[in-house]
């Protein structure tokens, strides 16, 4: 069997993202894509199957739309072979996560530049912490904007705040490929821009973790004619994780906990201070592949400042619907003793218990037992194409 290792998939993924970013014809090929393709061809040659290798980079690019299981190669068990690297020419979640493990991508670099500008501005402003939180929340709550809403937002973040130009770097006009009979639509689950497939059906956003990519949306939200959408980098690294952050933050507020969103300009996502003085640090990570999440965490998953007593890497509970063994797989590679991985529903139950808001441990036990039961199954996410 032809063997293609994970580092090769990571390099290919970095190249695919660069192709999409330049918004130009495939040629000249990005170096990472060319070298990744060369490694795939070499794998076929060394396995004595040269006739089965993709004949050119364009042919290989089309192959990336197919599940990895159809490449005719063997890949690492940690990568689900039912997934593809491209979906209607868009890099999939898996592709973005692989590229991050490779050392970053143009998407993370673009997001990083915007984040740096935001932080620099907020450090120099007397109300920087409040402005930072307001700006990040606005992005999370507005994946699409009408032109009028965009003009109003630039006014709100311009006068006295100085972040008007940064909004220009976060949003872009909606590409015509998302238009169906003169209309644009949003997903009813995440409210991000919906896609259009080759059969002229409105389909789920490729990153929406409430609905498998490509599934036809029975319900959809019609958008105004003139709209802007978040750039893919901001959507992937701020919007989708941010939805879960805001939801958890609001749930903790609703039960009257002392909770802070993005403390110290986003050192981590949520800080909880309990009546006994104990502080929890929560940092949400929304990855489709738990093994790639571990690889991307770095040496210090959660910064030591602001100080905390207990720290959790929090995963949206939606992930266990598609991958029941998610937490088990994550823990199998976990290497940090002072930070624990947990789903958001379970950490909420634990916080309620810690605050004395449940009479007994049964509520917490129920959440944790759900995870234990689901983690017994080795089932991985299946069927990203529908």
Domain that holds residue 91: 2-104
**Which residue did the predictor score with more confidence, 62 or 90?**
62
**Co-location of 160 and 123 in the same domain:** yes
Residue among 330, 207, 92 nearest 346 (CA)? 330
| Between 86 and 106, residue with greater pLDDT | 86
**Three-state DSSP state, 39:** helix
Average pLDDT, the chain: 86
**CB atoms inside a 10 Å sphere around CB 173:** 10
Model pLDDT, residue 362: 53
pLDDT at residue number 386: 28
> Domain check: are 200 and 164 in the same one?
yes
How far is it, in rounded angstroms, from Cα 31 to Cα 27?
A: 11
Structure tokens, 32:
């990472």
Q: pLDDT tens digits for 181-190?
A: 888 988 888 8
What local confidence, expressed as pLDDT, does residue 355 receive?
Answer: 92
pLDDT at 344 over 90: yes
pLDDT of residue 193: 87
**Which helix (H) or strand (E) segment is 165 a member of?**
helix 164-170
- If pLDDT is split at 50, 70 and 90, which confidence band does 229 have? very high
Work out the pLDDT band at 258, boundaries 50, 70, 90.
very high
Together in a domain, 112 and 15: no
Among candidate residues 122, 108, 165, the one with its CA nearest the CA of residue 265? 122
Residue 357: what pLDDT?
87
Q: How far apart are the first and last CA of the chain?
A: 28
Chosen domain end from 104, 132, 160: 104
Are 157 and 52 in the same domain? no
123 and 222 together in one domain: yes
52's CB contacts (< 8 A; 6+ apart) are: 2, 44, 72
- Does residue 379 carry a pLDDT above 70? no
Q: Average of pLDDT values for 328-356?
A: 95
58 and 122 in a common domain: no
Q: Are residues 360 and 261 in the same domain?
A: yes
Same domain, 225 and 285: no
Query: Into how many domains does the chain fold?
Result: 3
Chain segment 195-225, per-residue pLDDT in tens: 787 778 887 776 666 666 667 788 888 998 8
pLDDT band of residue 382 (cuts 50, 70, 90) is: very low
Question: Which of 61-65, 120-124, 362-366 has the lowest average pLDDT?
Answer: 362-366
Residue 98 confidence (pLDDT) above 60: yes
b/e string for 275-288 if b means 16 or more Cβ within 10 A?
Answer: eeeebbbbbbbbbb
Q: For residue 209, what pLDDT is reported? A: 60
193 part of a folded domain: yes
**pLDDT score recorded for residue 364:** 53
Domain assignment of residue 359, yes or no: yes
pLDDT surpasses 90 at 32: yes
Q: Percent of the chain beyond pLDDT 70? A: 90
Co-location of 366 and 260 in the same domain: yes
Q: Decide if 243 is inside a domain.
A: no
Cα-Cα-Cα-Cα dihedral sign, residues 146, 152, 157, 163: positive
Cα distance between residue 262 and residue 165, in whole Å: 22
When pLDDT is averaged across residues 259-280 and rounded to a whole number, the result is 93
Residues 320 and 218 in one domain: no
In a shared domain, residues 203 and 133: yes
Domain boundary among 232, 266, 290: 232
Do 93 and 125 reside in the same domain of the chain? no
Beta-strand runs (E) in the chain? 2-3, 73-74, 86-87, 90-91, 144-146, 171-173, 184-186, 195-196, 202-203, 221-223, 227-230, 258-261, 270-273, 279-284, 310-315, 339-343
pLDDT in tens, 129-180: 889 989 999 999 999 999 999 999 999 898 778 899 999 999 999 888 788 8
In-domain check, residue 385: no
User: What integer pLDDT is reported at residue 368 of this predicted model?
Assistant: 54
Measured in whole angstroms, how far is the alpha carbon of residue 214 from the centre of its chain?
A: 17
Question: What confidence category does residue 339 fall into, taking pLDDT thresholds of 50, 70 and 90?
Answer: very high
| CA distances from residue 239 to 83, 140, 243 in whole angstroms, order as listed | 23, 5, 6
């Amino acid at each position: 069997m032809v063997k293609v290792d994970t580092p090769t998939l990571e390099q290919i993924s970095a190249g695919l993202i660069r192709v999409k970013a330049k918004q130009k014809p495939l040629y000249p090929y990005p170096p990472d894509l060319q070298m990744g393709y060369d490694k795939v061809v070499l794998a076929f040659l060394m396995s004595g199957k040269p006739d089965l290798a993709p004949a050119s980079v364009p042919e290989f690019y089309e192959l990336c739309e197919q599940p990895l299981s159809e490449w005719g190669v063997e890949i690492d068990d940690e990568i689900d072979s039912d997934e593809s690297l491209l979906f209607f020419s868009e890099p999939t979640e898996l592709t973005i996560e692989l590229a991050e493990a490779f050392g970053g991508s143009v998407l993370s670099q673009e997001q990083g530049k915007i984040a740096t500008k935001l932080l620099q501005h907020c450090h120099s402003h007397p109300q920087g912490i409040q402005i930072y939180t307001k700006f990040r929340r606005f992005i999370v709550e507005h994946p699409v904007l009408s032109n009028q809403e965009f003009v109003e937002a630039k006014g709100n973040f311009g006068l006295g705040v100085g972040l008007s130009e940064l909004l220009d770097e976060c949003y872009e006009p909606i590409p015509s490929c998302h238009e169906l009979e003169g209309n644009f639509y949003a997903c009813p689950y995440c409210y991000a821009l919906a896609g259009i497939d080759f059969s002229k059906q409105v389909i789920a956003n490729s990153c929406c973790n409430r609905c498998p990519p490509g599934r036809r949306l029975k319900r959809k939200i019609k958008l105004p004619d003139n709209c802007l959408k978040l750039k893919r980098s901001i959507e992937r690294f701020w919007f989708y994780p941010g939805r879960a952050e805001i939801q958890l933050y609001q749930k903790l507020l609703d039960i009257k906990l002392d909770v802070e969103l993005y403390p110290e300009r986003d050192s981590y996502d949520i800080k909880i201070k309990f009546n006994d003085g104990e502080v929890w640090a929560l940092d949400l990570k929304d990855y489709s592949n738990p093994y790639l999440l571990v690889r991307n965490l770095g040496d210090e998953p959660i910064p030591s400042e602001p100080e905390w007593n207990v720290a959790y890497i929090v995963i949206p509970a939606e992930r266990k619907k598609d991958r029941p063994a998610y937490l088990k797989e994550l823990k199998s590679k976990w290497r940090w003793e002072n930070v624990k991985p947990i789903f958001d529903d379970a950490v909420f139950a634990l916080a309620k218990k810690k605050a004395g808001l449940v009479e007994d441990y049964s509520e917490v036990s129920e959440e944790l037992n759900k995870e234990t039961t689901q983690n017994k199954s080795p089932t991985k996410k299946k069927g990203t194409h529908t």
